[in-house]
Chains A and B, each alone.
Chain A
Amino acid sequence: MAGGYTGKILRVNLTTKTISRIDTEQYEAFGGGHGMGSAIFFDLVGDQLPFGGFDPRNVITIMTSPFSGTFVPSSGRSEVQGLGPMLYPIEWFGHSSFGGRFTAQLKYAGWDGVVVDGASSDPVWINIVDDKVTIESAKGIWGMNTWDAQQEISRRVMPNLRYGEWAEFTDSELVLPANSSHIPDHSGSMAYWFAQNRYTTQVPAVVCCGPAGETKSRLGCLVHGPGSQASLCGFGGVFGSKNLKAISAIGTGGVPIADPKAFMEARLWFRQFLWDVDDPYQADKYEGRGLYALISGQPSGGNVLNGQVPLIPARAAACLSCPRGCRMRLATGESNEAVCAGTMAVNVRAPQAAGAPAPGAGGFGGGDAKLSREGNDLMTQLGLSHWQFMPLQRYVASLYQRGLLGKGKKIDTDLPMDDVGSMGYYDTLMRKIAARVGIGNDLSEACARFAEKYGMLQDDLNNGNLQLTYWGTSEHYDTRVETEWGFGSLFGERDLMQHMMANYPLHWMAETGSPYLTAEAVAKLYTDAMVPYNGDPFMVDYSETGNYSDSKVKQVAWVKHYEKFWTGAGGFCGWRWPMCITNNTPDHRGPTPEAEPKFWNAVTGKNITFAEGMVTGHKIYTLDRSIWVLQGRHRDMEKFPDYVYNEKSKGNIMPMYQNGKWSYETGEGRTLDRAKVEEFKTKFYKFEGYNPDNGYPTRDTLEKAGLRKVADLLQSRNRLG
């Protein structure tokens, strides 16, 4: 196989307790990560759809990419896929990723991914030590929070481990998995040689569910390390439904690189785009400093809970391979490696303060920073998704304020609502949800299904009290202005969560009040990088006209294709890639689109262009869409809630082209237009090769993408476009 791959994917069936392998090579055309995960899911259960996320047939894939375990910048993500019980109204085939060390350790153990299906009759965890893979009893671990579980599993994997020492794996421990004949030949690569006397100083990388996952909460997330969450889709609950507490991986091998010299040159070349940590005035290069600097390159900027003076001594902390280091590790040990929503979902007021602080505002919003750090840590320990808990706790508070929730109210609960915002309140609320106790049982169904149970879903979606803009996940950036975020999510299965696709570079730069590029300049520069649609600045025109334009169709398509290949299959972090502009180079040009193929080709030995990667992105997106169609997706379902048509936007500052000139404007007061949204959908389906009547992929599109068997299955279900 090409460089970057180990050549085999681990498959574990928890019903039959069998361990086998899948040859990576048969999925190489999908690149890696998300692409391979989608293809494996389709092959294993595509013809059995539809069924639910908690069905034992649900297949969970945790995939690496060719970049995993190398030091391609910011490529340390593990891609999790499967049917997502968090998503609404159908538990769509979804994806969520997490950073940290897991993806690298899985590769060093010799695996390109893990595929889990079936359900165990008793709680178990999967232990991967190089080629030795075992299904272990989770007795004594089941019920633990995510931090304790990881520590206990590490102790079980390496009982004599002394921190800071080399650990040796002897051959006596080495057992090849079932159906495995031998380690494949990797063209002389040392990495997969059947080694003796294998050592490592590293510790097991464990990903697990918390108590919330064990109770099959739809808020259940997967947690790795102290703060890394696969937050979306409810995969913690899927782990729980399979009686799977955790997967641990540690390896002593490496990742073969096709062209090491080219790789090293690429990595040296990339340094020009990095934040200069030695320059005390580096932040000044980002006009206005503040949030834009923090989110667009400054190390440690992702943790908003250590922004108040006096600062807690801390280091900037990175996922493996990442030169950005957006996280922190604090001397107090709180909120370690948590980032963004993982540090903002729980905003605890100071004990003496009256009333709740603004939900979600984190340390910047008046909440007590230390208590908020502890509150967010509790959320992660319980295995609750920050991205679902954030809107849920807001919704509970709003119901209370509207007199609909509380003791003796329509939603009768003994939650201490008179103490909303306190640590005691959050503690009670989160534990009830995780354990499915009392009102927690209903809340554990996540926002949409909770509101639906009490007959308030449609009203609250329409009036904006519950801003679940796409598939049961919360509004993130205002669809009425940042339309590509909305459409990118609507044409997907959950919140887009791709910040560098215009949102950070455009919205947040302008939000500083003194952007370092004019609206006209940034439109040109940004879209220059958007190969193959480059040269059309109107792709990032966020005016009312621009938001429904043909150019906007191209932008949305570009976002989806990049998401599926370079981010999804390549394992890039959505907080760092793509980098179409930067303030770290004199001409403000970022490494995109040059860096992506430069690294891909050095690692794999292939010779693809950026545009060819985007074509594969379209292929993967089309496959995902086909799976959704098999689950019941139709264009009529792809609709925003009424509030985006009825309620006026507060505005989001973005570049807009109006009256013949570019400027930064807010779009305040704007609503979406139903007819224009429908017209936009039609244009998008046509652009992507889908039938505009129903949004189904056509046979021609599928066959051109090499997905004939997908076309055949859709046709057999009368769902071919």
Chain B
Amino acid sequence: MAESTKADEKNEKKVLRRDFLTGSGAAIAVGALAVVTPAAAAVDVPTPTEGEVTYPASMGYIVYDSRLCFGCQSCMYACSMAHQGEANPTLSRIQIVKDAPSFTTYPHDIVMNPCRQCVSPLCVQNCPTGAAHIDTEHGNVRVIDQKKCIGCKRCIQYCPQRPHRTVWNPYLQKSSKCDLCLDAPYWSKKGGPDGEQACVSICPAHALKLVHEPPPQMDEVGYDVNLAPPPPPPGPPRRPGTPPAATQSAPKV
């Protein structure tokens, strides 16, 4: 896998203390079994092990525009369908949360929660069996090997995001997470960082997008990006006097 190796080098990212403190989580040696206190309280995290440690950065990240989202949740069903062969939001590795019961206001009424393919993946770091690992043969995607998973839920416990992006499969009693559709038996497309993802492909609002550079790792800001189409080219309206399209013309707040 010469290409992967080259890509690994290219995308390798140094993880420093500042990344840790901004919410991306602690970073220690790859493959270490040390358990790190989860960043459930993102501001109350332990001091990482001294010294710089590195993870090869994933070559793919799913970013989103929560203001474009329709809330149809098709991405969730597409995920569980592609991976498990059934429509099951609980098994989906992307979670779209709509407010309860839908009386809050735009844009806070819908929160999109895809796996961040963290630069410093605590799920990988805290997995005692190596089930959660970095797939260096496929663009450094953070994945969970179901054969090695013993269902200890540490990857869930230590995921710094809320809701956690590692997903419990109650039927298998194992964890799973977004693999960018690398191992999606019901998805006919090629997945992975250089392929297509079911959630991205199905989204009718084009509110999901695969990118190849690591977004800023602080809070949600780096992943919740502007995916709105560019404004029309300058010039007179094509049909003066017609009502504007609300979703395309409404200013963002």
Contact = CB atoms under 8 A, between A and B. Distances in A.
Contact of A312 (B71, B97, B250): B250
A261 B229 CA distance: 31
Interface in A265-310: 265, 267-268, 271, 274-275, 277-281, 283-284, 288-290, 293-294, 298-300, 303, 306-307, 309
A329 B191 CA distance: 33
A101 B70 CA distance: 13
B168 A315 contact: no
B96 to A, nearest CB: 8
A345 to B, nearest CB: 20
B241 to A, nearest CB: 9
B78 to A, nearest CB: 7
Interface stretch (A19-27, A77-85, A158-166): A158-166
B97 A164 contact: yes
Contacts of B173: 196-197
B188 A264 contact: yes
A391 interface: no
Given A254-B86, A254-B91, A329 B204 contact: no
Contact of B87 (A69, A271, A294, A299): A69
Contact of B171 (A190, A257, A268): A190
Given A108-B89, A264-B186, A315-B69, A321 B74 contact: yes
B163 A71 contact: no
Interface in A113-148: 147
Contacts of A180: none
Secondary structure of the A contact surface, majority rule = loop
Contacts of A312: 250
B87 A328 contact: no
Secondary structure of the B contact surface, majority rule = loop
Contact of A323 (B72, B97, B251): B72
Contacts of A299: 70, 204-205, 247
Given A197-B168, A261-B188, A71 B247 contact: no
Contact of A331 (B171, B172, B245, B253): B253
Nearest to B229: A278
A260 B81 CA distance: 6
Nearest to A157: B100
Interface string B85-126: 111111100010111111111110111010000000000000
Contacts of B208: none
A333 interface: yes
Interface string B232-244: 1000001100111
A281 B238 contact: yes
Given A70-B77, A290-B242, A299-B205, A147 B99 contact: no
A429 interface: no
A319 B69 CA distance: 12
A323 B204 CA distance: 5
A398 interface: no
A496 B132 CA distance: 55
B142 interface: no
Interface in B2-52: none
Interface string A234-274: 00000000000000000011111100110111011001001
B74 A323 contact: yes
A711 B51 CA distance: 84
A202 B106 contact: no
B164 interface: yes
Interface residues of A, number: 90
Given A147-B103, A154-B101, A161-B100, A70 B87 contact: yes
Interface string B186-230: 111000000000100110111000000000000000000000011
Interface centre among B77, B173, B204 (most CB of A within 10 A): B204
Nearest to B186: A260
Interface centre among B69, B103, B107, B198 (most CB of A within 10 A): B103
B197 to A, nearest CB: 12
Given A189-B86, A280-B231, A195 B102 contact: no
The 5 A-B residue pairs whose C-beta atoms are closest, nearest first, are: A254-B88, A323-B204, A203-B100, A325-B70, A195-B170
Interface of B: 67-74, 77-78, 80-82, 84-91, 95, 97-107, 109-111, 113, 162-164, 168, 170-173, 186-188, 198, 201-202, 204-206, 229-232, 238-239, 242-253
26 contacts: A71-B74, A71-B202, A151-B100, A151-B101, A164-B163, A190-B84, A190-B88, A198-B90, A226-B101, A252-B170, A254-B90, A260-B81, A263-B186, A268-B201, A271-B204, A277-B68, A288-B242, A290-B243, A294-B243, A311-B249, A315-B109, A317-B71, A321-B73, A325-B205, A329-B102, A329-B105
